[in-house]
């Protein structure tokens, strides 16, 4: 494990494995760096893989006043700490952090963004979801709060949720449920400014599950129209966690882009 300090002094932890050009993996909500454990070996054959703990998780620190843009600074800090040109793969909320991080560092050479929860004007989450979750969390019902989020946030279908609960990282996700309410307020805390990204020439792959909820489709189309050097790849039959539900497809599309 290595650590670097973010712009506000918060220590951010990251792990290194494999060999080759650097690839940084940025996890989404209710996760830490171990979210990538199952898929990382496919990347380690080609890259030196770096997997970070976002703030408030694992071995990374946190700050008393949460601000989404601090998370972008965290990603940029890890990229700069690696010290050379880096490929970055961000998933879900981590993809949104990665998108903003690309404006803060010159160290990113290629981007893969898998379904960032980009506000498009249509509410991403039910307005009462944070309150409902907090009520469960206050009662110590962390697993119930997590399931409530998965059903009403990414709208995870029953078969996917069943598979998700059997993964080794499920207990970690349950323990991190208290970090969810601050993230699902992204509708009110983040405004996407397309003009900011007009000059971002980094090659970008936008991954989208073919069966994902419509708001992810809307967000990907909006992002693709804003980025000057992006393309969309649809993962047929998948939703928000193709790295778990179809790792062969996920790895193939990722490697095809990064190794081209």
Cα-based torsion angle of the residue sequence 172, 175, 179, 184 in order, rounded to the nearest 10 degrees: 70
- Predicted local distance difference test score (pLDDT) of residue 124: 80
Domain spanning 2-124+191-259: CATH 3.20.20.100: no
DSSP 54: P
Residue (of 138, 151, 147) closest to 174 by Cα position: 147
Query: Torsion angle of alpha carbons 181, 182, 183, 186, nearest 10°?
Result: 110
Q: What is the largest CA-CA distance in the chain?
A: 50
Contact indicator for 43, 49 with CB cutoff of 8 Å: yes
Query: What's the pLDDT tens digit per position in 128-160?
Result: 898 999 999 999 999 999 999 999 988 888 988
Instruction: Enter the pTM of the model.
Output: 0.94
In order along its 260 residues, the chain shows pLDDT tens digits of: 999 999 999 999 999 999 999 999 999 998 999 999 999 999 999 999 999 999 999 999 999 889 999 999 999 999 999 999 999 999 999 999 999 999 999 999 999 999 999 988 878 888 889 899 999 999 999 999 999 999 998 888 898 898 889 888 899 899 999 999 989 888 788 889 999 999 999 999 999 999 999 999 999 999 999 999 999 999 999 999 999 999 999 999 999 999 98
| 178: exposed, middle or buried (Cβ count in 10 Å: 0-12, 13-18, 19+) | middle
Q: Which pair of tokens denotes residue 62?
A: 């946190």
So what's the pLDDT on residue 131? Answer: 92
Which two structure tokens, joined as six digits, stand for 17?
A: 């494995």
| Domain range list for the chain | 2-124+191-259
| Sheet of strand 11-18: strand arrangement | 2-5, 11-18, 48-52, 22-26, 86-91, 108-114, 203-209, 230-235
The tens digit of pLDDT for each residue in 34-59 reads 999 999 999 999 999 999 999 999 99
Question: Which residues in 82-102 are b (16+ Cβ under 10 Å) and which e?
Answer: beeebbbbbbbbbbbbbbbbb
């Amino acid at each position: 494990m290595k650590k670097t300090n973010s712009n506000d002094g918060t220590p951010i932890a990251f792990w290194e494995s494999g060999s080759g050009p650097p690839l940084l993996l940025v996890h989404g909500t209710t996760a830490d760096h171990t979210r990538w454990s199952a898929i990382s070996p496919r990347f380690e054959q080609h890259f030196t893989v770096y997997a970070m703990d976002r703030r408030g998780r694992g071995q990374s620190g946190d700050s008393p006043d949460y601000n989404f843009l601090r998370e972008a600074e965290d990603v940029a800090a890890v990229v700069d700490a690696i010290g050379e040109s880096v490929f970055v793969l961000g998933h879900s909320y981590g993809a949104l952090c990665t998108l903003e991080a690309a404006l803060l560092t010159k160290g990113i050479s290629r981007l893969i963004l898998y379904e960032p929860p980009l506000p498009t004007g249509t509410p991403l989450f039910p307005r009462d979801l944070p309150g409902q979750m907090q009520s469960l969390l206050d009662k110590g019902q962390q697993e119930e709060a997590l399931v409530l989020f998965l059903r009403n946030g990414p709208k995870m279908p029953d078969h996917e949720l069943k598979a998700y609960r059997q993964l080794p990282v499920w207990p970690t996700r349950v323990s991190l449920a208290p970090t969810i309410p601050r993230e699902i307020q992204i509708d009110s805390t983040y405004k996407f400014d397309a003009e900011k990204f007009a000059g971002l020439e980094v090659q970008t792959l936008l991954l989208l599950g073919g069966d994902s909820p419509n708001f992810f489709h809307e967000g990907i189309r909006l992002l693709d129209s804003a980025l000057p050097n992006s393309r969309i790849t649809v993962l047929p039959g998948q939703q928000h966690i193709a790295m778990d539900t179809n790792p062969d497809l996920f790895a193939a599309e990722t490697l095809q882009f990064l190794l081209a």
